[in-house]
Amino acid sequence: MTEVKELNLTEILTALQDFMTSDGAISSEQREFYSIFRQHLNEHEGEFKVEDIERLLMAAKGEVPNLNEEEFFKMGEAILNRYRNKNEDAINERIRALAAEEARKRAIAEAERLKREEEERLAEEARLAEEARLAEEERLAEEERLAEEARLAEEERLAEEARLAEEERLAEEARLAEEARLAEEARLAEEARLAQEAQAEAARLAEENRLAEEARLAEEARLAEEARLAEEARIKAELEAGESAKQAYWDGQDLPDEEAKIVPDLPANASLTADTETTPGGMKKWLLLGAIGAILAAVAGVFFL
């Protein structure tokens, strides 16, 4: 590898002087810049590398603000040209090395770029695949959610229909039960009414029978009483007739008073009792008593009903 030759103080100042005197006149700014730049070079220690020369040029320019920019760049270019001319082979080799290095770096960078692009492409593909997977999962989850919502909605609808049907069934059962209850109440009321009517009718008939029986018994008692009175009147008439006949008989007898007294008088009650027990009038008396007993038994039976 060719060795790089650095410029010395003389070569730097000579290159600068050649540029300044190339057009035959040196401006005051150039003279001032030259003096300041030379001072910076004298103060520098060690070799003058390109980087050092550029730094010292910029330091001198900062102290001469009126120096023309174009002239300043041309003075720097003159020094660098001297450096390039002195190190042409080294510079060319350096340039080739730099070019090779640059090519290698570009190749590495290109490979890195391609690798990075490939990685980015793969990462992008992975990202897209992950996004697609997540989107698919989200889609499936959304479909599952919608399906679940639809299922729950359907279950809720069926449950609501079942609830309404159950309410309707219970309402219908309640209506039928109410109708049955009302019908049963109506039937019981009708039965009670009919039973009450039947009881009233039975009571009416019993009352009519009782009244008829009382009337019949009263009529029989009246007839029996009339028969008894008639019989008593007849018996009384017969007794009176018998007494009159007996009195007439005894009146017709010509007996002393003592003999007449020997024959006992016939008791009035004895004749009446015998007649009552043996005559049809006596039988009527017993019939009258039986009729009265029957009337009392009938009346007692009506009260017990």
The 3-class SS string of the chain reads: CCCCCCECHHHHHHHHHHHHCCCCCCCHHHHHHHHHHHHHHHHCCCCECHHHHHHHHHHHHHHCCCCCHHHHHHHHHHHHHHHHHHCHHHHHHHHHHHHHHHHHHHHHHHHHHHHHHHHHHHHHHHHHHHHHHHHHHHHHHHHHHHHHHHHHHHHHHHHHHHHHHHHHHHHHHHHHHHHHHHHHHHHHHHHHHHHHHHHHHHHHHHHHHHHHHHHHHHHHHHHHHHHHHHHHHHHHHHHHHHHHHHHHHHHHCCCCHHHHHHCCCCCHHHHHHHHHHHCHHHHHHHHHHHHHHHHHHHHHHHHHC
Per-residue pLDDT of the chain (305 residues; tens, 9 = 90+): 667 678 889 989 999 999 988 877 788 999 999 999 999 999 998 888 889 999 999 999 999 999 999 989 999 999 989 888 887 766 556 556 666 787 888 789 889 989 999 999 999 999 999 999 999 999 999 999 999 999 999 999 999 998 999 999 998 998 998 998 998 998 988 998 987 887 889 779 879 889 889 999 999 999 999 999 999 999 999 999 988 888 888 787 765 555 444 555 555 554 444 444 445 555 555 555 666 666 566 545 544 45
pTM: 0.32
Domain assignments of the chain as residue spans, ordered by start: 9-86, 210-304
